[in-house]
Amino acid sequence: MAGFVVGVAAVLIIPGLWLVSTSGPSWAGALSTILRERRGEDIYKANCISCHSGPTGGKIDDYPPRHNANGHTWHHPDCFIRQVVRDGSNEMRELAPPDAPTMPAFKGQLSTDDIDAVLAYIKTMWTPAQRQLQASFTREMCF
């Protein structure tokens, strides 16, 4: 009986190990991306959602801006978004209601990796076309 169990385990495990080893970086990269997005979601919920809301609702001219597909965040390259999160911003304050909060600086609270994780999560709220266009802005303006 023990030999049968070992044989069945070998038949199931060896192909699985082969699949993981041959798919290597793309499999590992996909898992890394998913984990980064989930971490970013947790950080977003703890620090951002109270002002910027979540994956649905809002419109392009809301203040503070929505980061989902209805907002305008996807119009900005990654380097700009990172800078605003890190350093804060009063940009477009004249369009805000008088009692609207200003964007605080998260430089002392969030690491570069935390900010990148939040950005990865925000991008999950955009349409494929918005992600593609935003990636082109990033390539043109950040590198």
The residue among 133, 33, 124, 143 whose CA lies nearest residue 76 is 133
| Nearest CA-CA partner of 94 in 71, 59, 68, 63 | 63
- For the stretch 68-79, pLDDT in tens is 999 999 999 999
pTM (2 decimals)? 0.79
Q: What are the tens digits of pLDDT across the range 82-134?
A: 999 999 988 767 777 888 888 999 999 999 999 999 999 999 999 999 999 99
Burial of 51 (0-12, 13-18, 19+ CB in 10 A): middle
